[in-house]
Homo-oligomer: A and B are copies of this chain.
Amino acid sequence: MSLKAYNAAVFHLLGDPADMGADVSRGYYEDGLLIVEDGVVKKLGARAELEPGLPADVQIASFANALIIPGFVDSHIHFPQMDVIASPGDQLMDWLNEYTFPAEAAFEDPAHGQASARFFLDELLRNGTTSALVFGSVHKASVDALFGEALARNMRIIAGKVLMDRNAPAHLCDTPETGYGDSKALIQKWHGKGRLRYAVTPRFAFTCSEKQLRLAGDLLNEFDDILLHTHLSENEREISLVKELFPQFRDYLDVYDGCGLLANRSVFAHGVHLSADEMKRLSQAKAGVAFCPTSNLFLGSGLFDFARVKKHGIKIGLGTDIGGGTSFSLFQTMNEAYKVCQLQGDYLDAFTSFYLATLGGAELLGLADKIGNFEPGKEADFIVLDLEASPLLARRLKSCRTIEERLFVLSILGDDRAVRRAYLAGDLAYARA
């Protein structure tokens, strides 16, 4: 039995502020104590209350000018696109051909995948991201590399090999059958091993034949707790191309639905241009979307209508969408999510932002029983934030009177520097130099 205790200000969310009310949803201890036993949260509370009950031999790790929060959840990111981040000049469809496909081709080489996996997971952790839903490349080896490295770190990663059998360079295409077979082999090899899970990952309807999508749907049926991870309604040209390719379906979402891919385990990235009807069906299916503001702005895809999607009761998480997105940081992602809402006259409060980046993401990914906050029994994935990470951040935070103000300032001014440490299941996985 290993008992550890961490002392700092501690904040987490018990549920969606929109459902519970901001006051009820938030748990905050100015001088808190997070007690972890065997990698799992045992108790969270005020230090003054919990410290007397600790066995005498338990050392408390105290952090000054710090805030402990649950590790961030990145709901949509592409592992093989690290090296195309900040590639200029085009919207989605040209950008894929110009930059992304060439970069993904390099992942045919397992050695490249392994070296990249180390860098990728290092980068997630230095940004405070302890869980992510990840696109691999079309190559089975890319997912082997990522899962292997994540398993070694005991990191809760959900990933899948991309399925695409058309409208992409031939050397990056699989077939419906090989895609199905490779995915199944990966599921059998990795799904449920350590903290890993699998997501069936058709790139998007434009690069998948109906047959491939239907076989993806078969996989979703065959395995209970795997996810479906794909793109939906990101860009207007994409949408019209999908309509041309699938005239037998009434809209973009209907393509996925008709192939058995619309379920409560489905995570659709973007959803920038959803119709009211599509929103209704997403809600009925209890499916969810990943809101990727830095990507939507960088690729000029449009403004995600957070207020409207939320009103439909659709699950929402935040995604960096590296490499269309411009930052690995969920702070920077919150910054731009706020701006996307402001441009539409909507207000994204700080509690909701942090909910999206932690528990909301966990709910979207079907992991809310494991991670996302500090309820007893959950895995102790948490980060220690440095409230003095830069002179400006330190100065600005000092003038804040409430935790809501502090969180908001962090969501606007924060970046990887604000992450002092990251813990995975109670073990130190990253410490800022």
Contact = CB atoms under 8 A, between A and B. Distances in A.
Interface of A: 82-83, 85-86, 88-89, 91, 119, 122-123, 126, 297-300, 302-303, 326-328, 335-336, 338-339, 342-345, 347, 349-350, 390-392, 395-396, 399, 405, 408-409, 411-413, 415-417
- For the residues of A in contact with B, the DSSP-based class is helix
A335 B329 CA distance: 15
Contacts of A349: 88-89
A154 B390 CA distance: 25
B119 A391 contact: yes
Contact of A413 (B86, B344, B345, B411): B86
Closest 9 pairs (CB-CB, A-B): A300-B342, A86-B412, A297-B339, A86-B409, A88-B408, A326-B412, A300-B343, A86-B413, A83-B399
A331 to B, nearest CB: 11
Contact of A350 (B88, B119, B300, B342): B88
Given A86-B408, A88-B350, A326-B413, 7 more contacts: A83-B399, A85-B392, A85-B413, A297-B336, A298-B339, A299-B342, A303-B343
24 contacts: A82-B392, A82-B396, A83-B399, A85-B392, A85-B396, A86-B408, A86-B412, A88-B349, A88-B405, A91-B342, A91-B345, A119-B391, A122-B391, A123-B392, A126-B391, A297-B339, A297-B342, A298-B342, A300-B339, A300-B344, A303-B343, A326-B335, A326-B412, A417-B417
